[in-house]
Homo-oligomer: A and B are copies of this chain.
Amino acid sequence: MKVSIIGTTGYGGVELLRILHSHPEFDIHSIHSTKEEVAISDEYPHLYGIIDKKMSSIDADKIADESDLVFFATPSGVSSSLVDQFKGKDIKVIDLSGDLRLKNTSDYLKWYKKTPANEAIVDEAVYGLSEWNKEQVKAANWVANPGCYPTATLLGLAPVVKEGLIDPRSIIVDAKSGTSGAGRAASRATLYAEVNENFKIYKVNEHQHIPEIEQQLMVWNSEIQPITFSTHLLPLTRGIMATMYVQLLADWETERVIDLYQSYYENEPFVRVRPQGYFPSIKDVSSSNYCDIGLHVDKRTNRLTIVSVIDNLMKGAAGQAVQNANIMFGLESHSGLKFMPLYP
């Protein structure tokens, strides 16, 4: 299968290259960026001698003619304009931005403060949370690849939300991300000297991933009320941890909750529900496509603490995008994705 990538110069784009370069079924046919005619190894010298393709301009007709699948590794606000160019073309699309995720375009307007994408495509696009929407992804032409925070959060909340085990007003998510999530554009806020030896909270109760999370939670359980969601910037490059707090409606032991989670995820190659007493850390999944989950019920408060970790560029972006591509083309979902976590 031939694939194209638009937006190759960002961190999500270059992570797609890392995965696809050794993928047994997908062949990187073309890469695109506004920096046409520049070799990708000039932009990313670590690729020297490995991938020497040049970037070319975005010609939707040509891409659709020559490739079976295109990844939009472009930022929100850019993907929406690409949608118009690829609409009606004979090619499958996986969009890594937030532009196709929110079914209610007024939510998009409110949280992203940008013009929404074509509404028909937004309607058609399938939300690519691979473990939960496999059947729809398989049949999809347009996939909205989930955000990094929503992936960690939703995989961690799904079982108790679906089962209706928690007070629907009680969801609090304290999320932390490494700086690669902020992208590769020059910026003062993510300079090394600003981030190092620092830790900050940002977009308190205002993060654009809030409606994405709530939309999916309500698909699973319509009782769910608005969540509290905080995001923090970690002094590290890759990784997200979401620490979540929910109020259990009945008395459940930690072990029983873990059993529930393990039964939900037992056939999923990338979700590792950890045994009682172990809580995953970011290095447990670094540079891999795993999402690891740890669980604990505090008997004093009957509150459940859920810890969910991913690599934001892998399971939180490029890894899950390739997982969705695998599903769309009938491959095993972990095809080309068996990267072992990097340790130390």
Which positions in A face B, CB cutoff 8 Å? 11, 14, 18, 21-22, 44-50, 169, 172, 174, 176, 178-180, 182, 184-188, 190-202, 204-205, 225-228, 230, 232, 234-239, 241, 243, 245, 272, 274, 278-287, 292, 294, 296, 298, 300-301, 303, 305, 307, 338, 340-344
Contact = CB atoms under 8 A, between A and B. Distances in A.
Contacts of A279: 200-202, 204
A62 to B, nearest CB: 27
Q: Please tell me how many copies of the chain the complex holds.
A: 4
A287 B284 contact: no
Given A22-B340, A48-B292, A186-B191, 5 more contacts: A14-B343, A172-B303, A192-B196, A200-B283, A245-B245
Nearest to A44: B343
Contact of A305 (B182, B230, B341): B230
A18 B340 contact: yes
B197 A237 contact: yes
B190 A191 contact: yes
Contacts of A176: 176, 199, 232
A274 to B, nearest CB: 7
**Which of A193, A227, A228 has the most CB atoms of chain B within a 10 A radius of its CB?**
A193
A46 B197 contact: no
